[in-house]
Amino acid sequence: MLQEDAFPRPLVMVDTALFTILDKQLCLILARRKDPPFQGARALLGGFVHVQDDGDAEDAARRVIRDKIGFDAPYLEQLYTFSGKRRDPRGWSVSIAYYALVPATLLGHSQATETFPVDILSELPFDHGQIVAKAVERLRSKATYSSLPAFLLPEEFTLNDLHCIYQQTQGAILDKASFRHKIMEQDIIEAIPGRFRTGAHRPAQLYRLTRRALTPFERKI
């Protein structure tokens, strides 16, 4: 029989790249580390797996997000597993990384987190820079062939809002007429009867998602 300590146990944690849109830019939500290593540095939202409380790694990721921003992310997806003896000064570690999307309208003014455009991020501790790079790549790719960007919107939105969100997540300019035609073909949104956004211009019809689940498209947007 093997002794319990025959093989040293690695550190097991979760890290989450949490995205939102602010000022028409794709942004990442970061938190300052309270403890060493890298105390005071801005880092991804993360923490150790609590074996007594977390049913699995996704439970751990959702707990970490709730602890930092006060609510569940509307969309969460496992990204990749990062591991090795050099990624964390405390020892051999495994991080199950996730990425998540949160509408800016749900974010309060919490002092526990800060938001930064992904294009001007400074260096991050551990291997968080690699996690962010892979998360941005996944997000931009999936934004071309699914309803993923819509999870960055509030429950009611205009077609122009949706068009802008797709441009910001893809990092590309999309022809508005072509975009609207392709979106309508996918049957992922529906007009809300009698609901319009009023302002300086003519009232804009408000829409909502037909389903609160990721929908793949038959062709790219």
On whether residue 124 sits in a domain, the answer given is: yes
42 and 132: one domain? yes
Indicate the residue among 93, 108, 142 that finishes a domain. 142
In a shared domain, residues 163 and 111: no
CATH number of the domain bearing residue 159: 1.10.10.10
Q: Is residue 33 part of a domain?
A: yes
Of 9, 10, 18, nearest to 88 by C-alpha is 10
| Predicted model pTM | 0.93
Residue 1 belongs to some domain of the structure: no
Most distant CA atoms of the chain, gap in Å: 76
Question: Do residue 56 and residue 136 come from a single domain?
Answer: yes
Listed residues 142, 177, 198: the one ending a domain: 142
Q: How many domains does the chain have?
A: 2
CATH code of 119's domain: 3.90.79.10
Q: Write the pLDDT tens digit of every residue in 142-151.
A: 999 999 999 9
Q: Could you tell me if 32 and 85 lie in one domain?
A: yes
Classify residue 123: in a domain, yes or no: yes
Residues 24-41 have pLDDT tens digits of: 999 999 999 999 999 999
pLDDT tens for each residue of 71-82: 999 999 999 999
Residue 109 has pLDDT above 70, yes or no: no
CA distance 165 to 61: 25
Residue 95: domain span = 11-142
User: Quick one: 134 and 94 in the same domain?
Assistant: yes
Residue 2 has pLDDT above 70, yes or no: no
Estimate to the nearest angstrom the gap between the alpha carbon of 137 and the chain centroid. 12
| Dihedral in degrees, nearest 10, Cα atoms 117, 119, 123, 127 | 100
Distance CA 23, CA 31 (A): 20
Task: Output the DSSP codes for the chain.
Answer: ---TTSSPPPEEEEEEEEEEEETTEEEEEEEE-SSSSSTT-EE-EEEE--TTT-SSHHHHHHHHHHHHHSS--SEEEEEEEEEESSS-TTSSEEEEEEEEE--GGG----TT-EEEEGGG----STTHHHHHHHHHHHHHHHTTTBSGGGGGS-SSB-HHHHHHHHHHHHTS---HHHHHHHHHHHT-EEEEEEEEE-SSSS-EEEEEES-SS--B-SS--
**What percentage of residues in the chain have a pLDDT greater than 90?**
87
Instruction: Identify whether residues 105 and 183 lie together within a single domain.
Output: no
Categorise residue 23: left if φ over 0, alpha if ψ from -120 to 50, beta otherwise.
left
Residues 37 and 54 in one domain: yes
Locate 22 and state its tokens. Answer: 């602010």
**Whether residues 112 and 200 fall in one domain:** no
51 and 123 both lie in a single domain:
yes
Predicted confidence at residue 201, as pLDDT, reads: 80
Confidence class of residue 111 from pLDDT cuts 50, 70 and 90?
low
**Does residue 93 sit in the same domain as residue 123?**
yes
pLDDT at residue 182 greater than cutoff 90? yes
| pLDDT > 80? residue 46 | yes
Decide if 71 is inside a domain. Answer: yes
Q: Work out the pLDDT band at 200, boundaries 50, 70, 90.
A: confident
Residue 42 domain-assigned? yes
